[in-house]
Structure 1
């Protein structure tokens, strides 16, 4: 599932390509993906201009000149592709939005959605989300305060979108590895120094992942050499049975509440 770095990569690439452009056509292949009847959907979108592409946690927000917002959540299996009819992927797109000769394809939205909302509907939808880990106002002090509210397992807290938004399976494991802390540690056992290291690792890992385009492999456009670049830089995620880059012991793969967990049980404590 795309996490904060993947959606931030999409946001930046989309803002460059469709920011300020008007929608010239739409096509809905799967009505369950949207939240309005297709006729009303088309009426509002056609001719409307994208004023800003923004992100909140794992969501993308397409702000429109009409003051509506398209809210995208890719969920499991969803991804985007931007191109012409000549270089499109050989896959069904649940929704397409055209900008003259270029088209934004929304693929794999069997579980995901693209909803057209008013600003107050958007605020209501996003209100339950926790703070953003890369927000300048999110400090070590605030992170420490949040941890005092938790009594469970570290990984479970990190992927809780109501507690802290944007982190999922991949980056929770990568952050814990960078901090040399097992993701299965109980939060009350963490020392002040471990909390400090965890905070700095969270900042460093997420920023590095954004720099290298996240871990999702499908390209965003033809000749895209950024998207998915972090996949080869993952230290533990999906590396079960491979040698640890830090100590050489084998990475272990386990499960925690039906979630995959990857860690080095030798150098993470």
Structure 2
């Protein structure tokens, strides 16, 4: 699933491609992707004549702002956008097409068919599942070491699982949780609420550093991810532990291990991330 860096890269490319375009009509080939409103014709009617003013992001959600309305789009596993001329052939698995008045089309393609769309008045975005209680954006100033520490103190569970909780921190998924824990030297099975103040400080820095570096490189193209311009990311060439099981650790040479934490495949270095409990409560 695309995580914060990948969704942010798509956001930036769409911002450059579709802002100020006016929607003439919408084709929906897979109605179940439209969650709000609950019928396709209302969705199409609400979008006709709307001008795209801005493309924002909250966690892993894209927010396409249309004045009074906001279109909330979640790419899920393999959703992708692309801008085309009307005369260009439509690829297989293209489920939603936004036809613009200038003869171009924004097409949404999704092989797995898990993507979702919610079109809501601006003041009602909290009705979208996942947005209501979403945690702070990790690349914004209000995400601090103390914010992270206080959030962990209120939760039980292993730190790897907690980092995937969008109510703790927005936008982190499996790839960047593994990479951040490695950079911070924290074992993925450590109990989150028992991390010390210093460990929280290291983890906060690692989260910000890893996500910032990935955004700068356009995200990680592990499977099918590409930006709105069809370009793959390059951060996968910088990954140190994710997907590297049975390879030597880039820091110490110890073999990277893969375990399951909370049902998710998890990669770590047993030497750089020793399994131990903090002696005192944070």
TM-score for the superposition, normalised by structure 1: 0.91
Aligned CA distance change for structure 1 residues 220 and 146 (closer, same or farther; 3 Å): closer
1:24·1:47 contact (CA, 8 Å) conserved in 2? yes
1:83·1:221 contact (CA, 8 Å) conserved in 2? no
Measure the CA separation in 2 of the matches of 1:13 and 1:136. 24
1:24·1:46 contact (CA, 8 Å) conserved in 2? yes
Over residues 12-46 of structure 1, what are the superposed CA-to-partner deviations in whole Å (9 max), with x where a residue is unaligned?
A: 11111111211133210100001332222222212
Matches within 5 A, 1:1-269: 1-35=1-35, 36=37, 37-65=39-67, 67-84=68-85, 90-99=91-100, 100-108=102-110, 110-125=113-128, 126-216=131-221, 217-220=224-227, 224-225=230-231, 227-269=232-274
Which portions of structure 1, spanning 4 or more consecutive aligned residues, are displaced by more than 4 angstroms?
85-89
Measure the CA separation in 1 of the matches of 2:89 and 2:157. 45
SS of 1:50's equivalent in the other structure is coil
1:82·1:220 contact (CA, 8 Å) conserved in 2? no
Measure the CA separation in 2 of the matches of 1:52 and 1:143. 30
User: Structure 2: which 5+ runs fail to align?
Assistant: 275-282
SS of 1:24's equivalent in the other structure is strand
Measure the CA separation in 2 of the matches of 1:74 and 1:165. 15
SS of 1:143's equivalent in the other structure is helix
How far is 1:221 from its partner?
Answer: 5.2
2:80·2:228 contact (CA, 8 Å) conserved in 1? no
Measure the CA separation in 2 of the matches of 1:221 and 1:89. 16
Aligned CA distance change for structure 1 residues 89 and 262 (closer, same or farther; 3 Å): farther
How far is 1:184 from its partner?
Answer: 1.4
User: Structure 1: which 5+ runs fail to align?
Assistant: none
Measure the CA separation in 2 of the matches of 1:246 and 1:98. 50
Measure the CA separation in 1 of the matches of 2:215 and 2:161. 23
How far is 1:131 from its partner?
Answer: 1.5
Residue matched to 2:280: none
How far is 1:180 from its partner?
Answer: 1.5
TM-score for the superposition, normalised by structure 2: 0.87
